[in-house]
Amino acid sequence: MLPSHINMSQTASSQTQPVMANLPRVLGASQATAFVVGTVIGSGIFLVPREMMQDVGSSALVYLAWVAGGLLSLFGAMTLAELGAMLPYAGGGFVYLRGAYGDTSAFLYMWTWFAVAKPASAAAITIGLARTLEFFPAFSGLSHQAIGGPIPLLWSQIFAIAVVWFMTGLNYLGIKKAGDFQLVFTVLKGILILIVVALCFASASGSFSNYSTMLPHAVGGFSGFMLAMIATLWAYDGWPDLVILAGEIKRPERNLPIALIGGLCIIGFLYMATNAAMQYVLSATQIAASNQPAVAALKIVAGPAGASFVAAAMAISIFVTLNGTVMSGARVPFAAARDRLFFRQFAHISPRFQSPSTSLAIQGVLATILLLFLSQFQQHFELAIFSEWIFYMLIATTVFVYRRRRPDLPRPYRVWGYPLLPAIFVFCAAVVLVYSFLGNLKGSLMGTALILIGLPVLWLVRKMYPGPTAELEGMGK
């Protein structure tokens, strides 16, 4: 039998410090599904069609990349759904890696999410939000310098920092409030996307002949298709974050698989519909030439008002994505601290709001530091993408370990097509890593170095908290 969460084992460790409280299970199926949809659908669907068309050069191959990326994400979601339903504890991948491979791999995952991926993602999202809002005259000054001196700051950086702390404060008030926010604004986001789709298909400016247009000088070939695939996987990115919140989902054995798999199906439908709408209005050449194809399409359909509508929809979409990023990021160091694999202050829960308050605050501080010293969206994004996919691949491999070592564990949901579908996901994730590494050598090396910095931190933590740490019963190596 598994202990509740990974509570301190009732042995020597329980005599050295008290058992810590769990976070409350308050998220239902609708809120969990909204978390998946709201976190995944950000600015990607509005932006990446340009890069995808430049990579493959035809509508048919663009759709094939969307379908392939969606299926690969679905295979990964089905794999993590089995793990999450089997081990529904706060921390997600930290729990699975620790039980399968031991403390070091789990700690490096936590360290990567804590020190690199989540702060960099939050910084990238808020800078992207500032860039989107610059479309409106009232926000045109965001690109101007606000403070000079040795560390010059743009107004966009100050705005981004303020948004990070607003969202951190919302999550401090409790997961229930943040979950309700996610549900309401994800529904609004979906409605706005469907309005964009309807406006495009109702326009006399569109033509089905655009689907047969080609881009003459695309990259093409297998390399071009793989580049388009990486773009789609970035647009689909974010679904693994739900298992991090598994300790706060009601009836996780049922609701977690429903939210993961159902959420990705909703996302796939919205992505395909949006892409079809843009291609109905714009030719392949026009899509490849536009930095924001959705804005360009609505400008043709409805003039400046249409372009403003899409920009507003993008801003809301990005804002909701930030909430999901902040929600999930703080739970990983919280879970590690509970297991005495990180500084115990990170396990503190607000007595009033029942949120991981210390973990949330430090995450906000790290995102602020990145925003103070880096002002470019790409700089933040490069720090996150390579490091994330290393662990997506490793976490998926743990399903094989648990099937072999612990066939007795209750599995309310079993991934369909085992072992083929999880194996396809792991193989394709490895291919994505290779192309990502070679395509962005500097960012990938930087991400690798930041991950490895976690090793001396782990040594320090072990010196501070000697003795046995909490373990999943029977899961250790």
In this model, does residue 471 exceed pLDDT 60?
A: no
DSSP-derived letter for residue 3 is P
| Count of C-beta atoms within a 10 Å radius of residue 333 | 29
Identify the band that residue 448 occupies on the pLDDT scale cut at 50, 70 and 90. confident
Residue 14 lies in a domain: no
Residue 76 lies in a domain: yes
**Between 247 and 373, where is the model more confident?**
247
Residue 184 CA to residue 179 CA, distance in Å, equals 9
Residue 477 lies in a domain: no
Identify the band that residue 473 occupies on the pLDDT scale cut at 50, 70 and 90. very low
In this model, does residue 10 exceed pLDDT 60?
A: no
413 neighbors 251 (Cβ within 8 angstroms): no
Residue 4 lies in a domain: no
| Count of C-beta atoms within a 10 Å radius of residue 400 | 16
- Joined together, the tokens standing for residue 86 give 């089997």
In this model, does residue 14 exceed pLDDT 90?
A: no
pLDDT digits (tens, 9 = 90+) for 284-328: 999 998 878 888 899 899 888 888 888 888 888 888 888 888 888
Q: Once rounded to an integer, what is the mean pLDDT over residues 11-29?
A: 59
> What proportion of the chain, given as a percentage, has pLDDT over 70?
90
Amino acid (one-letter) located at 14: S
Q: Once rounded to an integer, what is the mean pLDDT over residues 66-77?
A: 92
Residue 15 lies in a domain: no
Q: How far is CA 45 from CA 90, 267, 290, 355, in A?
A: 30, 10, 14, 32
Identify the band that residue 250 occupies on the pLDDT scale cut at 50, 70 and 90. very high
* pLDDT value for 162: 93
* pLDDT value for 269: 93
pLDDT digits (tens, 9 = 90+) for 207-228: 999 999 888 888 878 888 888 8
Q: Which residues of 143-157 are buried (b: 16+ CB within 10 A; e: fewer)?
A: eeeeeeeeeebbbbb
Q: Once rounded to an integer, what is the mean pLDDT over residues 379-392?
A: 67
The residue length of the chain stands at 477
What's the CATH number where 50 sits? 1.20.1740.10
pLDDT digits (tens, 9 = 90+) for 115-134: 878 887 888 788 878 878 88
> What proportion of the chain, given as a percentage, has pLDDT over 90?
40
Identify the band that residue 20 occupies on the pLDDT scale cut at 50, 70 and 90. low
* pLDDT value for 234: 78
Residue 408 lies in a domain: yes
User: CB-based burial of residue 438 (10 Å sphere; 0-12 exposed, 13-18 middle, 19+ buried)?
Assistant: exposed
* pLDDT value for 138: 85
Residue 472 lies in a domain: no
* pLDDT value for 15: 35
Residue 78 lies in a domain: yes
* pLDDT value for 324: 87
4 neighbors 246 (Cβ within 8 angstroms): no
Residue 356 CA to residue 346 CA, distance in Å, equals 7
* pLDDT value for 227: 81
Query: Based on the structure, what is the number of domains in the chain?
Result: 1
Q: How far is CA 230 from CA 118, 135, 172, 216, 275, in A?
A: 19, 27, 34, 21, 16
Structural domain span for residue 36: 27-464
3-state secondary structure of 471: coil
* pLDDT value for 306: 87
Residue 60 CA to residue 67 CA, distance in Å, equals 11
